[in-house]
Structure formats: structure tokens, C-alpha cells
Amino acid sequence: MKLSMRIIAALATLQGHPIRFSTVAAPEKDPDSIAIEVNPDPQIGRARNLRSTKGIGYAGKLKLDLLIPQGSGPRPLVLYLPGGGFVAARRMMAAKQRQYLAAAGYVVASIDYRTTTVGATYRDGLTDVAAALEFLRSHATEYGIDPDRVAVWGESAGGYLASMAGTEPGNRITAVVDFFGASDLASIAEGFEGEIVAALTGPGAAIPAYVLGPDRAAADHPDEMRQADPATRVTADTPPFLLLHGDDDRVIPPMQTARLHQALREAGVDSTRYVVTGGGHGDLSDNPELWTSKQLMDLVVDFLRTQLGH
């Protein structure tokens, strides 16, 4: 596990919401997804010739970091939402991946957003994403951004929030990239052993708290949990999605992105889902290098070029 994720895990434990790992893998059965073998070599490297601006306030105490390619704009914007189990959201996550996308010709912003640590729910998270988008669009000329070409990308909890933000028409999102994010939070641990299910969905757990507020169980509030599922918010106007999940993810079962993928397809939305053979939960796995491989990140670049251009 990388140092950054050790910090996230430690913060989650201190907040009383330790990150739970299943001892068994949940099944992956989606017939409309693409299974891929990822070669971890070569890895993406640190990019050069990028203008980096950190700690820009965008809403209250919340801040964002920016990576801007050299040269004239305007360029498409990619907004990155970090994971952290709905307990933490550290905008410095995925540094190499963000640099790789910026080097490919995108302005890349990464943001802090509110979590259960401050009593926030997903509605507050969506408000924060909308505020960041409004701020960046209002400063589009300053940062060389094309306000009409905007993608949102997230990992894990950030992948969930990215999917929710992508199904919010007012955000004017052009494309969504979701790395192993959740969808149906009520069944977030389906396929894992019973004690993990109870730990993730019972009263006091971070996941129901992010939907319902503190000390409420997911099973007692099915309608509210359903409203917090991006799959239930999909329409024919939802932007294209790229979904990636490891088939050995022991934190969020791969069927979570599979269900979202099927909902998108049923609505006629352009959705592509890759299942990484042997892949775990990003940096919270024994093989995090799969997620920073050039092969995998080029899938993201190709998708963004198709949807946003250069």
C-alpha cells in the first residue's frame, strides 16, 4: 500500500471508520464489459513543462490544485475527485496520473470536498463539485480552460461522486471517468462476507452516514439510498462514461460499476467498462502499479480525446 493511502487509512481509522477489506472477491459477471490484462510496464512518469498552482480557494475553506499545460489555450478541463472512503478527500492524490493527463493536453484540477468528518452528505459533496466547476468556468480565461469541454474523473468514493455529478444536468459535464467507484450504496458490500456487509452498511458506518447522516442504517431507508444511486439518475442526456474496475477489488465489489454500466446502456448512453484482470482497489491493493501503467492511463487519454478533443 502506498504512503498516501496509508495516510487515508489512518485518518479513516481515527474517525472511527476503518477501511474494511473482504477476504473473498465478489463475482464479476457483466457480459457487456471488456476484460483486459494490464501490463504494469511501462509506468507513467512525472511530467514536465506543466504550470502548477496549488491551494486555490474555491468555496469557503475548500481548495483546489491546478495543472496547466504549456502553450496557448483554451484547453478541455478534467476535474479530479479523490477517494477516501467518504471520510477524507485529499486533493494531492493521484499526482502522477493527473500529471499524465495534463501532459496530454488537459487542464487538470483536483479538489478537496466535504466528507463525513465534518458531517457532510453526498448532497454537500455535489454542492462542492458544482462550486468548483462554477469557479473554474468563471476563471476560464485566466487558466486557459474551455468551459464547454469538461470531464469529471474520480477514484473510489471520488468515482461515486463523479458519477453523481455527471448525472446532474446543471453541471454541464461532457464526459465521466469512474475508477472503481460505488453506485448502489445500499448493497456496497454485496458478495463479501457477512461481517463486512454489516460493518459497511450498518448504523455508524461511513457509507450510510454519507447518504443519510450519522447513526442511520441503510436497510432502514431504502428510498433515500436509492435516490443516492447514480444508476437511478441516468437519462438519455447523461454524458458518456468510462468505467474501470478490478475483478479482485476487496473494498468495492466490481458489480457496483457493472450495474451503473448497464443502467447507462439501457438509457442509450455511450458507456465503456473495462475489468482489469487481477486488479485490486487502486493503491489499496497488492498491485497498485496496474493503475499507473501507461497501458491503462492511455485508455483514459483515448476516451478523453474522443469526447473532449485535444
Q: What is the mean pLDDT of residues 188-194?
A: 87
- Mapped onto helix, strand or coil, the DSSP state of residue 84 is coil
Q: Read off the pLDDT band of 18 (50, 70, 90).
A: low
The CATH T-level fold of domain 3-308 is: Rossmann fold (3.40.50)
Query: Could you read off the pLDDT of 265-304 as tens digits, one per residue?
Result: 999 999 999 999 999 999 999 999 999 999 999 999 999 9
Other Cβ atoms within 10 Å of 272 Cβ, number: 18
Alpha helices in the chain (DSSP H): 3-14, 95-103, 122-138, 140-143, 157-166, 194-201, 206-212, 222-227, 255-266, 294-308
Whether residue 236 contacts residue 265, with contact meaning beta carbons closer than 8 Å, is answered with no
In sequence order, the 6+-apart residues with CB closer than 8 A to the CB of 44 are: 96, 97, 99, 100, 292, 293, 294, 297
CA 257 to chain centre: 11
Cell of 141: 480565461
Please report, in angstroms and rounded to a whole number, the separation of the first and last CA atoms in the chain: 34
**pTM value?**
0.93
By mean pLDDT, which of 44-53, 137-146, 230-239, 273-282 is the weakest?
44-53
Question: What whole-number distance in Å separates Cα of residue 129 and Cα of residue 206?
Answer: 20
The greatest distance separating any two alpha carbons of the chain, rounded to the nearest whole angstrom, comes to 54
Question: What whole-number distance in Å separates Cα of residue 82 and Cα of residue 130?
Answer: 15
Query: Could you read off the pLDDT of 55-93 as tens digits, one per residue?
Result: 999 999 999 999 999 988 899 999 999 999 999 999 999
Residue 128 has pLDDT above 90, yes or no: yes
Q: At 285, which helix (H) or strand (E)?
A: none
Residue reference for cell 447522516: 213
Which residues on adjacent β-strands are paired with residue 81? 154
